[in-house]
């Protein structure tokens, strides 16, 4: 299904032009317009899914296989030193466009991209609480 108000639906369908790196029946891969590093790309499914909570399993699996292919190819093209594959779900996690997408972020030694997070400490209390609840 497509969503008429969704910009990524329109980009994926080719109704809005984009810097397309790859396209097949299910996906379009484009360069991000606000790149974290040179070559930052987005995998967009052509069908509309809000995020990982509602994407179907087959499309999610295909998206990750495509991520692997693109990372290998783009590492050769860009000559980068590594990759972050990132996928945000809901506002609290930084999602700003509510059409499932995967970020492919090339990394270069000492690129100072600022990507990362502050690390905390896993306490016994929290660990035991989670392990208990997941049973
Ligand atoms: P997120 O914060 O995970 O929802 O990521 C949305 C991403 O989409 C951001 O990195 C934006 O720079 C990017 N973005 C938004 N609109 C466009 C657009 N029209 N073309 C390319 N990238 C876009
Ligand atoms: Zn959409």
Structural contact between residues 40 and 106, judged by C-beta atoms closer than 8 angstroms? yes
Residue to mutate (ligand 1; options 34, 51, 89, 114; most atoms within 8 A of CB): 34
Band of residue 3 on the pLDDT scale cut at 50, 70, 90: confident
pTM: predicted TM-score of the whole model, two decimal places: 0.96
Residue 106: phi, psi to the nearest 5? -65, 145
Band of residue 44 on the pLDDT scale cut at 50, 70, 90: very high
Among residues 10, 65, 70, 8, the alpha carbon closest in space to that of 39 is found at: 70
Q: What is the pLDDT of residue 4?
A: 85
Band of residue 61 on the pLDDT scale cut at 50, 70, 90: very high
pLDDT at 65 over 80: yes
Cα(123) to ligand 2 centroid in Å equals 40
Cα(97) to ligand 1 centroid in Å equals 6
Closest ligand 1 atom, CA of 36? 10
Among residues 64, 107, 57, 70, the alpha carbon closest in space to that of 87 is found at: 64
Q: What is the pLDDT of residue 133?
A: 98
**Among the ranges given (13-17, 25-29, 110-114, 128-132), the one the predictor scored with the smallest mean pLDDT:** 110-114
Q: What is the pLDDT of residue 11?
A: 98
């Amino acid at each position: 299904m497509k969503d008429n108000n969704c910009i990524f639906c329109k980009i994926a369908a080719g109704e809005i032009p984009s810097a397309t790196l790859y396209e097949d029946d299910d996906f379009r891969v484009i360069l991000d317009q606000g790149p974290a590093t040179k070559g930052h790309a987005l995998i967009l499914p052509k069908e509309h899914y809000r995020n990982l909570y509602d994407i179907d399993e087959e499309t999610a699996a295909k998206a990750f296989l495509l991520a692997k292919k693109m990372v290998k190819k783009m590492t050769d093209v860009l000559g980068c030193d590594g990759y972050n594959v990132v996928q945000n779900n809901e506002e609290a996690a930084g999602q700003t466009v509510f059409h499932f997408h995967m970020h492919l972020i090339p990394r270069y030694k000492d690129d100072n991209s600022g990507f990362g997070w502050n690390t905390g400490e896993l306490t016994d209390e929290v660990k035991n609480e989670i392990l208990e609840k997941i049973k």
